[in-house]
Structure 1
Amino acid sequence: MKTNHLLAACAALSLLLSTPARADWGSCLSGLRHAAAGAGVSQETIARALGSLEPNDAVSFMDKQPEFTTPVWDYISGLVDEERVEEGRGLMHQHARSLQAAEARYGVDPAAIVAVWGVESDFGKSFGKRPVIQSLATLACEAPRRSQYFEKELMAALKILDHGDIASEEFVGSWAGAFGHTQFMPSTFLSTAVDLDGDGRRNIASSAADALGSTANYLHKSGWSHGQPWGFEVRLPDGYSGPSGRTNRQPMSSWGARGVRRIDGGSLGEGRAALLLPAGRDGPAFLVTHNFDAIYAYNAAESYALAICILSDRLRGRPGIQTPWPTDDPGLSRAERRELQALLNQRGYEVGEPDGVIGTKTKEAIADFEGRSGLKRDGRAGLKVLNALRGR
């Protein structure tokens, strides 16, 4: 009897605490409907998209983007591996006509375009499953720090639906509202998306051609220079203590005078570049040009831009990063991550079907195994724990 009273009291308290939040949601949603009408979105689209909308879990993913929270060697090893290189080369051949059209129109080479595609959605296999409208409305109402930004993106998303470029059932994407093969935010779509396949719709969700053309247009607008490299790996002189940083661009001759040399022994060339040290002076070093900045504009994270640049080099048949990362526990490829998950399952952990995605269950299983094996307990999927699972 006491238990029933306690449950009833808890239920009443829960209702009391949740009522203001639900009232705030209803009030915010009403304001968003009014704003959409003021932005010229039709009442039919507003009613269909926002009529009985409920919030989702988008806010919980803020400040957790892997490009900012993952060691750079883990981030790049999972994005630039032999599987992605092989698949990307095949897709360059399969979509050669669209890529040639995009290059002719916007001056961006196919390898760079396809590298963005590979990193953003694994060539169309990982769009995200959250309804774009729901995520953006949730963030506009429940993420005060960036509410204005997400409200602007929501208005853009509603205009996309209103225009008919993207059908509501295919308008799904990431927690932040990015969608399609190359994960455009809605405002970027409105300003940059193109109809490369000529069917009268700009549809980066169901048309790979439109997505590739739109990506080329984005890079073009961001300052991509045709025929110029994004940069290249270099070797620093012993004890280097000179300038570095993506925004500290200097003439190639200045870098040469400081003893900076291409890793392959070639000439530094002409123009200006910045010295990028993603893992400090003991790790790989790169001279990067304005084309690197064009890719950086896509998602303002150096590890993200570097992954695309290295993948584009691999798609062109060039080698990957030559200098070892400054770690004794390198990151894993997706194939190695799947192997790790399979070995965890074999030891009785339930991490699900091996898919190479290191989620909460996999991290918890790794941490438990590390604790039992005398390894540092951090839940990280690195080579040390994989070798321990292999029995090495």
Structure 2
Amino acid sequence: MTKTKYAIRRALLLATALFASSAIAADKPSFEQYLEQVKQQAVAQGISESTIDTAFGNAKFIQRTVKLDRNQPEKRQTLDTYLPKRVPQWKIDKARKLYKQHYPLLKQIGDQYGVQPRFIVALWGNETNFGSYTGNFDIVSALATLAYDGRREEFFRKELIAALTILDQGHIELGQFQGSWAGAMGQTQFMPSSFLAFAVDHDGDGRKDIWGTQADVFASIANYLAQSGWNDDLTWGRQVKLPEGFDTELAGLKTKKSLAEWQQLGVRRYDMSNLPTRDIEASLVLPDDAHGRAYLAYGNYDVLMKWNRSYYFVTSVGYLSDRIAYPSVFAK
């Protein structure tokens, strides 16, 4: 193909693409028109018109929400650099203090749901720094923006309808209905659909208040874990050492082996002593690579992955829970 023909063809393709994109843009409704569609869906799903009108009364498109959604941090780090930032000593000290302060309530909830209190506190601490920062984005506007933007329209539209349901049920006033740019809410950082599935009115006041009622916050965390398969007879996992030349193809949550089998393969506790003799299945997790930290992950690790599908986040929760429960082991 000659340069002239190539240039003509390229120009035609570009013109076609521009025409198609302009046509798509022309077909896309305005933000206000999109909200009208959502309103109709909400009415069809039984949400009151008064709730819908109030919720959307001041809804607006938030450009910063779109920017945050499209520009997730990609900076490379390792677990060795992540953990000190995510779980610094001041957070460990605060976790221990709050664990003791709220222990009667935590113990009662832990016994009710079958979840060790230290994991409730560890999730609380890692999600919102023990409730001190829950986000200041208007939930309805943030979810409406992300749904309208279209990158994950189906997901965020479902969450928007769930958010309207929460308002309709009277769990929170619109003025306090705030959270993260992605719609995660309260001290538990539940998405609206998770709220509807797992939030608990532990104090019996008729509202599932994950924003300001400690009993509801703790019980909601425990209920999420319990319904997701938590086993309070187990911990989350343990850091281990691998032998030289270990086959890292065995790593991953899909591979389950007994502790005895991992022992035979040369896996040892971090201090190089033998693994426990209990009949427990575990997976080998390498959050970085064969040269980074290695963990044997028990069933509760899988449960925490349902909460947040990040090896780093789950490991940070397990790490903080251990620092709460075993301060003498980590003492300098």
Q: Structures share a fold, TM > 0.5?
A: yes
What's the offset of the Cα at 1:66? Answer: 5.5
Q: Structure 1 residues 298 and 263 mapped into 2: Cα distance closer, same or farther (>3 Å)? A: same
Identity rate of aligned residues, in percent? 37
User: What is the 5 A alignment of 1:43-54?
Assistant: 43-54=49-60
Structure 2 unaligned regions, length at least 5: 1-24
Amino acid of the residue matched to residue 283 of structure 2? A
Contact 1:245 1:277 in 2 (8 A): yes
Does residue 152 (structure 1) correspond to residue 161 (structure 2)? The answer is: no
Take 1:161 and 1:35, find their aligned partners in 2: how far apart are those partners? 16
Take 1:220 and 1:108, find their aligned partners in 2: how far apart are those partners? 7
Q: Structure 1 residues 261 and 102 mapped into 2: Cα distance closer, same or farther (>3 Å)? A: same
Q: Structure 1 residues 256 and 238 mapped into 2: Cα distance closer, same or farther (>3 Å)? A: same
Q: Which residue of 2 aligns with 1:310?
A: 319
SS at match of 2:152: helix
Q: Structure 1 residues 68 and 215 mapped into 2: Cα distance closer, same or farther (>3 Å)? A: farther
Q: Which residue of 2 aligns with 1:131?
A: 138
Q: Structure 1 residues 74 and 229 mapped into 2: Cα distance closer, same or farther (>3 Å)? A: same
Q: Which residue of 1 aligns with 2:3?
A: none
Q: Which residue of 2 aligns with 1:30?
A: 36
- Equivalent of 1:229 in 216, 235, 240: 235
Does residue 195 (structure 1) correspond to residue 204 (structure 2)? The answer is: no
What's the offset of the Cα at 1:92? Answer: 0.9
What's the offset of the Cα at 1:65? Answer: 4.8
Q: Structure 1 residues 263 and 78 mapped into 2: Cα distance closer, same or farther (>3 Å)? A: same
Structure 1 unaligned regions, length at least 5: 1-18, 323-392
Contact 1:121 1:183 in 2 (8 A): yes
Does residue 287 (structure 1) correspond to residue 299 (structure 2)? The answer is: no
SS at match of 1:62: helix
Q: Which residue of 2 aligns with 1:210?
A: 216
Q: Which residue of 1 aligns with 2:177?
A: 171
What's the offset of the Cα at 1:20? Answer: 6.0
Q: Which residue of 1 aligns with 2:189?
A: 183
Contact 1:67 1:75 in 2 (8 A): no
Amino acid of the residue matched to residue 280 of structure 1? D
Contact 2:263 2:275 in 1 (8 A): no
Take 1:68 and 1:203, find their aligned partners in 2: how far apart are those partners? 35
What's the offset of the Cα at 1:270? Answer: 2.0
Take 2:75 and 2:160, find their aligned partners in 1: how far apart are those partners? 25
SS at match of 1:246: coil
Contact 2:240 2:268 in 1 (8 A): yes
- Equivalent of 2:258 in 251, 255, 259: 251
Q: 53-62 vs 215-224, which deviates more?
A: 53-62
Does residue 105 (structure 1) correspond to residue 112 (structure 2)? The answer is: yes
Contact 2:259 2:275 in 1 (8 A): no
What's the offset of the Cα at 1:266? Answer: 4.7
- Equivalent of 2:275 in 262, 267, 271: 267
Deviations 1:49-91 (A, max 9, x none): 1134211122222255569965433332211111111101111
Contact 2:87 2:316 in 1 (8 A): yes
Contact 2:263 2:274 in 1 (8 A): no
Take 2:95 and 2:74, find their aligned partners in 1: how far apart are those partners? 21
Take 2:55 and 2:98, find their aligned partners in 1: how far apart are those partners? 35
Q: Which residue of 1 aligns with 2:100?
A: 93
Contact 2:114 2:226 in 1 (8 A): yes
Q: Structure 1 residues 23 and 149 mapped into 2: Cα distance closer, same or farther (>3 Å)? A: closer
Higher relative contact order (CA 8 A, sep 6+): 2
Amino acid of the residue matched to residue 246 of structure 1? L
Q: Structure 1 residues 275 and 187 mapped into 2: Cα distance closer, same or farther (>3 Å)? A: same
SS at match of 2:316: helix
Deviations 1:328-383 (A, max 9, x none): xxxxxxxxxxxxxxxxxxxxxxxxxxxxxxxxxxxxxxxxxxxxxxxxxxxxxxxx
Deviations 1:94-117 (A, max 9, x none): 211221121111100011010000
Q: CA RMSD in A?
A: 2.2
Does residue 79 (structure 1) correspond to residue 86 (structure 2)? The answer is: yes
Deviations 1:282-337 (A, max 9, x none): 121100011011111101111111110111111112556x9xxxxxxxxxxxxxxx
Q: Structure 1 residues 63 and 95 mapped into 2: Cα distance closer, same or farther (>3 Å)? A: farther
TM-score normalized with structure 2 length = 0.86
SS at match of 1:145: coil
Take 1:107 and 1:74, find their aligned partners in 2: how far apart are those partners? 33
Take 1:48 and 1:74, find their aligned partners in 2: how far apart are those partners? 45
TM-score normalized with structure 1 length = 0.73
Amino acid of the residue matched to residue 194 of structure 1? V
Contact 1:98 1:213 in 2 (8 A): no
What's the offset of the Cα at 1:186? Answer: 0.6
Contact 1:67 1:303 in 2 (8 A): no
